[in-house]
Amino acid sequence: MIEAKQSEAVLCCQPDVLRKSGINIRDTIHPSKTDSARSTHPVSPPSAASRAGFLKSTMSAQTKILRTANAPRTTPDETELLVAQAILDLETNVPDLNAELRPLQISAAREVEVKGGRKAIVIFVPVPQVKAFHKVQGRLTRELEKKFSDRHVVFIGQRRMMRKPTRGTRQKQQRPRSRTLKEVHEKILEDLVYPTEITGKRIRFHTDGSKVMKVFLDSKDATSLEYKLDSFSSVYHRLTGKTVHFEFPTVQEI
């Protein structure tokens, strides 16, 4: 027995002898690792059916996205596809929304950081469809906020501004008023708070030259919209660079 053990020890210390014997050196050093490597199975790739289903779902969602002239030219990102798919699901599964949602499309969507660590989803829609969205916007907003439970949802028309003409620029047509900076910012403000109405505005000027606008909303909608006031401020600042505080006024403030 002692001689057998000694011969095994000598054999393990001589690589040349091991190779001639057809024994893998790695098997003598780490047998457990090689065994586990042999027993593991590679992860199978997604089946053709699952890939086809994913592509079909993505293509269906893209039919709800219409890139207008002033919308991003990039392919739809994850947020836009999720929003488009959610609207498509509501169109398919909610009978009383089917007819209203079928012709509607979005032009873009983006997420905006909101005070308190929350996020808001800004859904841009083609300007010609803004009124059609308004007809179902209350119900649509509630349904989308159920699907995206940690985010607020707002709708804004995808408007485009035109630069003020200067002496060195040549424009074939006069700039419409609807394309001015002031008018576009006003429309963004109205779209942002819809369906409530703006009842008043005040601008406060600070000694450092900065200014803050206070926008007063119809107090009858305070119960349904008060939770979104911070989102309104964050979204408007992100889109325009202006600081605005939204409030529901008391009788004294009016």
Total of domains in the chain: 1
pLDDT in tens, 97-131: 999 999 999 999 999 999 888 899 999 999 999 99
**Long-range pairs, 142-150, Cβ under 8 A, ≥24:** 143/90, 143/94, 143/97, 144/83, 144/86, 144/87, 144/90, 147/86, 147/89, 148/82, 148/86, 148/121, 150/118, 150/119
Q: Is residue 41 part of a domain?
A: no
Q: Are 153 and 123 in contact (CB under 8 A)?
A: yes
pLDDT in tens, 198-246: 999 999 998 888 889 999 999 999 999 999 999 999 999 999 999 999 9
Please report the pLDDT score of residue 222 as a whole number.
Answer: 92
Q: Is residue 72 part of a domain?
A: yes
Give me the percent of the chain exceeding a pLDDT of 90.
54
pLDDT in tens, 33-56: 444 444 455 555 555 544 544 445
Torsion sign (Cα): 103, 107, 110, 114: negative
- Cβ contacts of 112 within 8 Å, gap of 6 or more: 119, 120, 121, 122, 231, 234, 235, 238
Mean pLDDT of the chain: 80
Q: Is residue 71 part of a domain?
A: yes
C-alpha 223/C-alpha 201 separation (Å) is 20
Q: Is residue 75 part of a domain?
A: yes
The model's confidence at residue 253, banded by pLDDT at 50, 70 and 90, is low
The model's confidence at residue 6, banded by pLDDT at 50, 70 and 90, is very low
Q: Is residue 125 part of a domain?
A: yes
Please report the pLDDT score of residue 176 as a whole number.
Answer: 72
Q: Are 91 and 208 in contact (CB under 8 A)?
A: no
Q: Which two tokens stand for residue 211?
A: 């200014």
C-alpha 139/C-alpha 141 separation (Å) is 5
Please report the pLDDT score of residue 140 as a whole number.
Answer: 97
- Find how far residue 221's CA is from the centre of its chain: 26
Q: Is residue 27 part of a domain?
A: no
Question: Residue 240 sits in which domain range?
Answer: 56-161+178-247
Q: Which two tokens stand for residue 36?
A: 């586990």
Q: Is residue 16 part of a domain?
A: no
> Is this structure's pTM higher than 0.75?
no
The model's confidence at residue 178, banded by pLDDT at 50, 70 and 90, is confident
Question: What are the backbone dihedrals phi and psi of residue 215, each rounded to the nearest 5 degrees, phi first?
Answer: -115, 120
pLDDT in tens, 125-157: 999 999 999 999 999 999 999 999 989 999 999
Q: Is residue 46 part of a domain?
A: no
